[in-house]
Amino acid sequence: MFEFLFIAALVYLYLERRARKRRERALTLGTNGRKVRGLDAELKAIIENDGDKTGIAFEIKQYLLSVIEDDKNDVEKFSDARIEQAERILDRAGPSAMYWMTDIAAQLAFLAAAQINGIATNIDAKVGESATPEAIVNAVVKG
């Protein structure tokens, strides 16, 4: 009797494992059987790897701050050094770095529009009356 239950449990666990692997493969493979590496897959991989996520967020934050500093000092907008720095971030993070940067830019645009229209935001409490671009980037970007 116990042997029958044990064998049934083993068969059930085997079939569940096999079905789970099929589901996972279906999520990562396209219709042609090749592995899909889209923005969602890149973002999911970065989110799953927490240590890498905070490192990349820190690099993006430093990149934004250096671009602001370059703008203040009238340095060339598209210098080779900044383009190489952006390439290193994109190589490390993939397309999700572009997504993060555009999300940050969208947040900054909403913040600027709210400030122009006199709407209070949660960033106002963090940066106070003297809002500098660096303070806003430090408040918006966690990393």
Which helix (H) or strand (E) segment is 35 a member of? none
8 A C-beta contact, residue 98 and residue 105: no
Same domain, 64 and 132: yes
Same domain, 50 and 107: yes
Same domain, 132 and 81: yes
Same domain, 46 and 75: yes
4 burial type by CB count under 10 A (0-12 exposed, 13-18 middle, 19+ buried): exposed
The 10s digit of each residue's pLDDT in 48-90 is 655 565 677 788 888 888 888 888 888 888 888 888 888 888 8
In the chain, how many domains are there?
2
Same domain, 48 and 25: no
Which helix (H) or strand (E) segment is 108 a member of? helix 95-116
Same domain, 18 and 74: no
Please tell me what DSSP assigns to residue 33: S
The 10s digit of each residue's pLDDT in 96-121 is 777 777 777 787 788 888 888 888 88
| pTM exceeds 0.85 | no
Same domain, 56 and 118: yes
pLDDT at 106: 81
Same domain, 4 and 44: no
Same domain, 114 and 66: yes
Distance CA 9, CA 7 (A): 5
Same domain, 21 and 53: no
Residues ≥6 apart with Cβ < 8 Å to 112: none
Question: Which structural domain, as residue segments, surrounds residue 7?
Answer: 1-36
The 10s digit of each residue's pLDDT in 28-46 is 655 555 555 666 666 666 5
Q: What whole-number percentage of the chain has pLDDT above 70?
A: 76
pLDDT at 15: 85
Same domain, 101 and 88: yes
